[in-house]
Amino acid sequence: MSTVLIVSILNCKKIEAQNKRLLEIRNKSLAEQKKVLRDQRKAMLKEKKEKSETEALLTAVKVCGTLI
C-alpha cells in the first residue's frame, strides 16, 4: 500500500460508510500507526530503565569506594 494513499486516508475526516474497503484500510493503517508509536514508547522506556539501572550500579560502586 502506498504511503500517499495512507496519508490521504488518515487526513480524511469522513469516509463514506458505504465504502467498506476504505474503512478497512483506514482502520488497519491507524492500528499499525498506533503499534509503531507504542513500540517507540516502549523502546524509550526500556532505554531509560537500563540507563537508570546502570547509574544506580555505578553509584553503589562509588559509595563502596571500589575502583572499576
CA distance 53 to 12: 44
Q: What is the pLDDT along the chain (68 residues), one digit of tens a residue?
A: 455 555 565 555 565 666 888 888 889 999 999 999 999 999 999 999 999 999 999 998 888 886 65
H or E segment and range at residue 37: helix 20-64
Does the pTM exceed 0.75?
no
* Contact assessment for residue 22 and residue 35, using Cβ atoms and an 8 Å cutoff: no
